[in-house]
Structure formats: C-alpha cells, structure tokens
Amino acid sequence: MSAARPALLFYCQHSVGLGHLVRSLALAEALAERFDVTLLSGGARAEDIRPPRGVELVALPALGMTGDGALVSRDAGLSVDDAFALRRRMLTDALHATRPAVLLVEMFPFGRKKFAPELVPLLDAAMAAGPDRPLVACSLRDILVSRGARQEAYDERACRIANRYFDAILVHADPRLARLEDSFHSSTPLRVAVHYTGFVVPSGAPAPVARRGGIVVSAGGGIVGGPLVRAAVAAHRARGAAEPMRIVAGPFLPDDEWRALEREAAVTDGLEAVRSVPSLRDELAGAALSISQCGYNTALDLLRTRVPALVVPYAPVGEDEQTRRARTFEALGAVRVLDPARLDGDTLAAAIDATLPFRPRALDIGLDGAADSARLLERLAGDAEAAA
C-alpha cells in the first residue's frame, strides 16, 4: 500500500449477471488514480475478468442468485451459511488491515438486502473506529429495481440503514435522465447527501474489431439469456442467414443451453457462437446491428458506439429496471425496443429487418462518472479528515 495515498475499500456483489462487477471495475480503475484500492468481489468468477492496474482484487467465497431469486453458493463444498461466515471474517479483516479512508459499498442498502448479514456487521465495524472511521459511501446505478407491493417497506428499511451508516450516495447517472427519487420513495426523509456523478463507462474510446458488419447478439452474463439466444437462432434461420450473426452467450449461460447453441452454430450457415469476447463495446463498434438486453453497461456501450440497436429488456414479473432504461433511450432516439413478451423467432426477424436501417441519435449525456466519482470521494474524505 502506498504511504502517499489514502486507502479505499470497495465492496461489490454481482449476483445474476456481470454488470455490477464490470461497472465496479471501471470505477475502481479511476479510483486507483487517487487511492490505494482493494476491491472485494463476492460473485461468481469469470475467467476473462481482470482487475485494473493498481487495484487489489479479493475474491470472496462466491454467492449468487438463481433466475428465480434464490440465494446460492457458487463455491463447491460451501453452503450459503458457511460462505457467509467466511465472508464476514474476510470483510472485517480487510477493513482492519487496510484502515481505509473510504468504505464504498455497491448497491446496499438500496439493493442486496439478502447480503445484510455480512454488510451490517461490516458497517458496524467501520462505525466502531470512532474518529478514525472511514467515510462511508454507496455506489448506485441509474435505476433501482421495483419491489412491487413491498416497495414502501423496502424503501423505508433502506432509508433507515442509509441514515444510520452512510455519509454519501453516489448515483452513477446523468440527473437529466435518471434521479434517485424516480425509483426510491421512502416516507422517512433521506438525510444522506446524494451526488450525481454521470454514467460510469470503461476508459478509452471504442475500437472496432477487424471483422466488420453482421449482427451481434449479446446476453450479458447469460444466466437469464436463454430466451434471447433461442429467439436469435430462430430469427437467423427465418431470415435465411441474410447477415452473419455472432451470439455472445455470456459465461453464465447454463451449460445445457450453451451446448445446444454450439450444436446450432455448427450446422447453421452464418451463425457463430462464443461464450465471451474481450470487449463487447469493440464488437458493437464494428457491427451492423446489435440485439441485446438493456442492462446498464450494455446500454452505455450502445450509446457510445452508436450502433443500430434493438433491445429486449430483461423484465421478469415485478422488475422494470431495464424496461424503464430502454424506454428512456428509445424516447431519445438512441435505440429501438422489442417487448420481451412478444419475443420469438418470427417477431425478432421482423424487428431486425425494421431496425437495420435505423440510425441512432447522438446523445449529450454525462459519461465521466468514474473520474468524477474519484474526485468527489477524494474531496469528501479530505473534508471528513479535516473535520475530525
């Protein structure tokens, strides 16, 4: 650890896809310009994910969520309870070892309720440091998940935890497009300062891959990508392989679905299947059309590359985060949207034909969220130290 820079401890838990981890890595890269960063990662590990230079990555025993929301252990031989016990020790050990100036927690308490058994003890330990305690901040994406009938109780609980433990909330969005109060409604006033940083995107400009043209289909981490993948294969056949199609299935697409996709690709002209690519953004920069869900990172890749894009939001019952994001960007002329309830091969084939001539509008939105977050946390930590 550098003696010249303060330490920052960053907790991230990706549960279904890789979006939270990808965003956190982009943020950690910028934070490492100003802090000694330790990133505590609690989700399933993907082989092609590497920490940025200057960031120490600590892999916690992996926990995740199934498609129906059940919490499961991703480490063979460890039950969920065993994993939590080990993770609690690792979190508090990291806090005591790094003595951070900043403790940054991704999503909680506005999400990750099932991880409260490890996060509340971590926050208690941070508070116990007294005058030397770290600045405690929350890292939030643009839109929170809707909780349906449980929304009021969920938001009240989140507000109480935030008011008790947190000093700042960083919303990684352009406030002209998304504000915290759009998806968070507590009766109790939120007393924590809310800062809008702009969207967080990986550093560098998109660099198109050598292979240009064709359709790129991407399913995020893949664990819930099966319906989109199957519809894409059917649409490719229905269109008579008019354009080559490359499906980036995601590292977590269930093995049986991946094997089925490999078989389809082996016998279908113009169809290629890969688990992952070094940079989806670079793949999109060289494509004639993108078909994808509408997670935070994918949506921003679409905006930055300005590829003609057809998005099919992931929208299980009671969850509208991706749909809201998709409709916002559709209204601004940046993407086209296909209702997931209508997703099948024929409908997708027709939507492909309609979207290929589409030319998305360039949007003037804040995309410097990673660097602005780093500057903000450096200033807030300095102010807190001066006040102490």
**Mean local confidence (pLDDT), 184-201:** 95
In this predicted structure, what is the pLDDT of residue 8? 98
In this predicted structure, what is the pLDDT of residue 108? 95
**Mean local confidence (pLDDT), 127-140:** 94
DSSP 176: T
In this predicted structure, what is the pLDDT of residue 45? 76
pLDDT surpasses 90 at 123: yes
Residue 249 near residue 260 (C-beta atoms within 8 A): no
pLDDT surpasses 80 at 53: yes
Q: Which tokens sit at 10?
A: 């960053």
Helix (H, G, I), strand (E, B) or coil at 246: strand
Give the CA distances from residue 161 to residues 190, 271, 299, in Å, rounded to whole numbers and listed in that order. Answer: 10, 49, 30
Helix (H, G, I), strand (E, B) or coil at 8: strand
Q: Which tokens sit at 120?
A: 């509340």
pLDDT tens, 255-310? 999 999 999 999 999 999 999 988 899 999 989 999 999 999 999 999 999 999 99
Q: For the chain, percent helix, then strand, then coil, each to nearest 5?
A: 40, 15, 45
Range list of β-strands (E), the chain: 7-12, 36-41, 55-59, 63-65, 71-73, 102-106, 135-140, 168-171, 193-196, 215-218, 245-248, 271-274, 289-292, 309-311, 336-337
Specify which residues 91 forms β-bridges with. Answer: none
pLDDT surpasses 60 at 75: yes
- 211 pLDDT tier (thresholds 50, 70, 90): low
Q: Please, which contacts does 50-58 make with residues 24 or more away whose CB atoms are closer than 8 Å?
A: 51/25, 52/25, 52/28, 53/29, 54/29, 55/25, 55/28, 55/29, 55/31, 58/90, 58/94
Give the CA distances from residue 356 to residues 34, 213, 338, in Å, rounded to whole numbers and listed in that order. Answer: 43, 11, 14
Give the CA distances from residue 300 to residues 140, 150, 263, 277, 357, in Å, rounded to whole numbers and listed in that order. Answer: 15, 30, 32, 17, 21
Neighbours of 350 (CB within 10 A): 14
Q: What is the pTM of this model?
A: 0.91
As a whole number of angstroms, the distance between CA 99 and CA 102 comes to 9
**Residue 257 parent element (H or E):** helix 255-267
Neighbours of 297 (CB within 10 A): 23
Quick one: how many helices (H) and strands (E) in the chain? 12, 15
